[in-house]
Amino acid sequence: MRVSLQALGCRLNEAELETWARQFQQLGHQISPDEQGADLVVVNTCAVTQEAVRKSRKLLRRAQRANPRAKLVVSGCFATLETQALTAEGGIDLLVPNQDKDRLVAIAAAELDLPTMPVTALAADANPLFARGRQRAFVKVQDGCRYRCAFCIVTLARGEERSRPIPEVVAEINRATAEGVREVVLAGVHLGGWGSDLGQGLDDLVAGVLTETAIPRLRLGSLEPWELPERLWDLFANPRLMSHLHLPLQSGADSVLRRMARRCRTGEFAQLATQARERVPGINLTTDLIVGFPGESEDEWRQTLGFVNRIGFGQIHIFPFSPRPGTKAAALPDPVPAAIKRARSQALHQLARRLKGETLDRRLGAETTILVEGRHGGNPAGDWFGYTPDYLPARLAATGTPDLTNHLLRVRLTGRHPDGESLVATLITPQAVSPVR
């Protein structure tokens, strides 16, 4: 059978898709890059915001319209929280809630009577990541969260914290490396809480991966800005650990952070940012911000803008607040009017663009590496596109070059692209075209 896998939302959803892809391959099925022509479509949904719910519904409807004869399997946070509603709507052949998603492929094979022919499985060196047109692998190392931020529905959908042991993570990364993967991202709901149930810390996991694997590039997924072990900074001395951290701030006003039930205040966050930049020169710090949290006053909003400008993030993911039933924030008084949320979002986007531009400009003239992920925008004649170690997008002119997909290239960053969102890269030597093994 041809299997199409789709995901919305966090990197953890993407990591789970990669695991399912491998398991489907081991049963003899082929991975299809899109739902058209597929015999089975699997959708990993998201529910972090109302917009994510809307997109999840849209993705499900699109899959049903594009290929009505295909069997449709749905999992993820939206499917877990809205099981009865989705089931009542019809068109779904199988719904697998989060608590069972580690067994999704086995459940689908049994419930949908899927044919299994392992003898026809792809060769051992064929990574399913490439079949889906991806180059960066996400490895799920942790699930669940023991904290209860007022706005977060994910903790209800994902449950308590559970960590994968280091040997299991190392084995998966070593297999991916042998199959040609050049970059791995460690992903979890509360990645910084990895090992809380094992008597270990995130630094132990990162040190183990760096020591026991040869993966050329290792990244950390989103990390809450608390509980980061001191030894973690020392591990960045290894150039294989990429110099980028995504640290969700959510607000730059301490009064709002208290209402959010966040465990980090602006003073602590500023100290963390200073420490990161002192210990890891050139590190790129990116963040998430919620605009229009209930009761957010004009003064609190100005505090957020000032604090964001002070820290100087390289990238900001901006989320207008949307109440999620079942969370504390959904019942808070003084909702911010939609028009004010829109205006504040626009102002924050403008500030974010300026800060990103300043981050890009500071890298001009530097020599670095990029992992080419393909043609920009999927254009067959477009520039090659990839990311620097500090997670800055870079574009390389395609003229006269062979296929560079999945190559690690030594480049010089010579300018900012006219799109304003990426850097222009130039190969330093022709020999840099050879893939790094």
What's the chain's length in residues?
Answer: 437
pLDDT higher than threshold 50 for residue 179: yes
* CATH number of the domain encompassing residue 96: 3.40.50.12160
Q: Specify whether 197 is located in the same domain as 258.
A: no
Number of helices followed by number of strands (H, E) in the chain: 14, 18
Domain boundary among 91, 120, 149: 120
Q: Specify whether 311 is located in the same domain as 415.
A: no
Residue range of the domain that includes 17: 2-120
- Domain assignment of residue 264, yes or no: yes
What are the structure tokens assigned to 193, written together? 């809480």
- How far is the C-alpha of 419 from the C-alpha of 79, rounded, in Å? 37
- How far is the C-alpha of 232 from the C-alpha of 227, rounded, in Å? 11
At 155 the pLDDT is 80
- How far is the C-alpha of 288 from the C-alpha of 296, rounded, in Å? 17
Q: pTM of the predicted model, to two decimals? A: 0.90
Q: Specify whether 271 is located in the same domain as 257.
A: yes
At 128 the pLDDT is 67
- How far is the C-alpha of 247 from the C-alpha of 226, rounded, in Å? 9
Question: What domain count does the chain have?
Answer: 4
pLDDT higher than threshold 90 for residue 9: no
- What angle (nearest 5°) sits at the alpha carbon of residue 40, between those of residues 35 and 43? 65
DSSP string, 81-106: HTHHHHHHH---SEE--GGGGGGHHH
- Domain assignment of residue 71, yes or no: yes
Domain boundary among 184, 212, 242: 242
Q: Specify whether 11 is located in the same domain as 111.
A: yes
Q: Specify whether 178 is located in the same domain as 248.
A: no
Return the HEC string of 228-248: CCCHHHHHCCCCCECCEEECC
pLDDT higher than threshold 90 for residue 376: no
The model's pLDDT over 287-299, given as tens digits with 9 standing for 90+, comes to: 999 999 999 999 9
Kindly state the average pLDDT of the residues 266-279: 97
Kindly state the average pLDDT of the residues 53-80: 91
Q: Specify whether 255 is located in the same domain as 222.
A: no
The model's pLDDT over 328-338, given as tens digits with 9 standing for 90+, comes to: 999 999 999 99
Domain boundary among 362, 394, 409: 362
Q: Specify whether 214 is located in the same domain as 309.
A: no
Helix H segments across 112-235? 128-131, 154-158, 166-178, 202-212, 231-235
436 pLDDT band, cuts 50/70/90, is very low
Q: Specify whether 269 is located in the same domain as 342.
A: yes
3-state secondary structure of 107: helix
132 pLDDT band, cuts 50/70/90, is low
What are the structure tokens assigned to 82, written together? 């809205």
- Domain assignment of residue 195, yes or no: yes
